[in-house]
A and B are shown apart, each in its own frame.
Chain A
Amino acid sequence: MIIKVDHLTKYYKIHQKEPGFMGSLRSLVNRKYYDARAVEDVSFTIDEGELVGFIGPNGAGKTTTLKCLSGLLYPTSGNVEVLGFNPFERKHDFLKKISLVMGQKNQLWWDLPAMDSFLLNKEIYEVSDSSYKKTIGELIDLLDVKDIVNVQVRKLSLGQRMKCELIAALIHEPKVLFLDEPTIGLDVVMQQNLRDFVKEYNKKFDATIILTSHYMRDVEQLCKRIIMIDHGKVLYDGNLSEIVKKYATHKELRIVFQKPIEKRELARLGKITEMNGTRVVISVERTKSNHVAAEILKKYDIEDFNIEEAGIEEIIRDVFSNKNK
């Protein structure tokens, strides 16, 4: 077992200020604090080589958990163990084996070319010359950044910078990798490149990876197992494929009619989620879907017809919105 999280809880002390100028004055004398519960009683374990997707809406506690796992935050209560270490102690032996990459912020020296930051990281992680040369060569090839590593980081585009960030984080070939929104702000092609890269890295080094993302595609393509978290609590922990079985209550019928049909007429079959001329999407309960499909095929002239599982994105949206009620 590589990662063990046991009843992890993290509260932030937040200073509450009433709005407006008077509120500012009042808060000068009388400060009110409250505990923001970022993560509450979260437990899970992750084995070596697993690639786990961590999903949840904004402010669900994903990043906080990752920060606890990488030793940045001091847990309010509960235990965290990564590679047999207590992360918060930040032993150098531990730090040499992990990496945390955040899509939102950079570790590269802003005013110097990325190559200088790589070299610095090489020294920091005490990577030998030969293995540095090998790794950096591979990474540069894999991410196709040969032309930009010698350009001042501030002059790079977001996507180029992200690639360099990733290289900087991987020079020491970490065994455990935390990726927080690695695809944020990247174009579709770059997103795909990055995904392929993460997959490859996972396989090649048998690295354990936790990935958070807003883009369900990332998770869908990369992770077998997902942990869903909201309001600091774990909602679901298990295989991605099972979540579909468990939560997908509806199927989608995608139909193209030969002639436009009245909306009212179709509405009694199921929930119309999309209607555009002769193109219609109807959401129907799973158990009834075959029955409804047969009825439609019998009754109308059809040009094209498809039955699909609801998209993973919709299922997850459903799960989160139901739990919030």
Chain B
Amino acid sequence: MNKYFLVGKNLVSEIFTYRLNFVMWRVRMILSLLTIYFLWSALIPEGRELFGYTNSSILTYIILVHLTYSFVVASRSYAVGEDIIQGNLSNFLLKPFNYFTYLFSKDVGDKFMNISLTVIELSILFVILKPPIFIQTDLLLLLLTALSILSGIGIMFFIYVLLGSIGFWSQEVWAPRFIFFTIILNFFTGFLFPLDILPKPIFDFIQFLPFSYLLYFPVKIYLGQMAIDQILMGTSISLFWVVVFHLLLKKVWTKGLQIYGAYGR
């Protein structure tokens, strides 16, 4: 069995060991979905239109973002900071083992669990709330959606690891992470609202940042609400960020490992 596959599998067993933790995390995710869902259905009742969205189009958007979240955002890689500060990183450096592949394998395990649970939850929700469902049948768009999700997964992974790498220089890795989670993740990724309801100058600016490619962009492609040239442009920007973050990470780790103190061991 491949070593990295085994890591992912071990993470799944770990989740089963701490079932309650995981279940509570899912409860929190459902509550957050329901809050946003009911907020938007109150803002745009059936038959009305706001910011170019109808009741059914906004609810479809919200649900799809929720699903995309478990693909893109679900991750364990934020633990890099603690690994560095507490010296657990040493365990990995001592072995013929790629730390980043290891982190990513854990993420895959985590994503697998989150996606499975999200699908089950949404199925139940569909039975109860009967929200509008949109099925995309255009194969090209589905393919582009998949590509944008992969790219989003990459961006997210690099952001987590880079935020954690602050640990080489400072003990305070929690604060930047907190800012990322509460401000950036909520307001710049399209998690709470579709970004195109923002004033055009702000929206244009956000398009050049990496964050909109985490949730907003894949969902909009799936919904077929983007022109092909917009899709190509967005995909290019998104891939550009993946490359930039990758290079940055390489630099940061070369420097970081030189001052790594392997403390706590």
Contact = CB atoms under 8 A, between A and B. Distances in A.
A33 B265 CA distance: 22
Contact of A105 (B10, B93, B264): B264
27 contacts: A13-B259, A67-B90, A67-B262, A70-B94, A71-B93, A72-B90, A72-B93, A72-B94, A73-B261, A73-B262, A95-B94, A95-B95, A95-B97, A100-B94, A105-B87, A105-B90, A105-B265, A107-B91, A107-B94, A111-B18, A112-B13, A119-B6, A120-B7, A123-B2, A124-B96, A126-B3, A126-B96
A71 B262 CA distance: 10
B93 A111 contact: no
Interface residues on A, range: 20 to 34
Interface string B240-265: 00000000000000000111111011
Nearest to B86: A105
Given A72-B260, A74-B258, A105-B265, A112 B93 contact: no
A198 B14 CA distance: 33
A116 B264 CA distance: 24
Contacts of A112: 10, 13-14, 17
Interface of A: 12-13, 63, 67, 70-74, 90, 92-93, 95-96, 98-100, 102, 104-105, 107, 109, 111-112, 116, 119-121, 123-126, 152
Contact of A124 (B3, B93, B258): B3
Q: Which of B14, B87, B259, B265 has the largest number of chain A CB atoms within 10 A?
A: B265
A109 B264 CA distance: 17
B1 interface: yes
Q: Which of B87, B91, B264 has the largest number of chain A CB atoms within 10 A?
A: B91
A67 B97 CA distance: 18
A263 to B, nearest CB: 49
B21 to A, nearest CB: 11
Contact of A74 (B259, B264, B265): B259
A67 B87 CA distance: 12
Given A92-B96, A95-B94, A95-B96, A74 B6 contact: no
Contacts of B10: 109, 112, 116, 120
Contacts of B94: 70-72, 95, 98-100, 107
A33 to B, nearest CB: 12
B96 A73 contact: no
A12 B261 contact: yes
Q: Which of A63, A70, A111 has the largest number of chain B CB atoms within 10 A?
A: A111
A200 B194 CA distance: 67
B85 to A, nearest CB: 13
Nearest to B14: A111
Q: Which of B7, B10, B90, B95 has the largest number of chain A CB atoms within 10 A?
A: B95
A125 B95 contact: yes
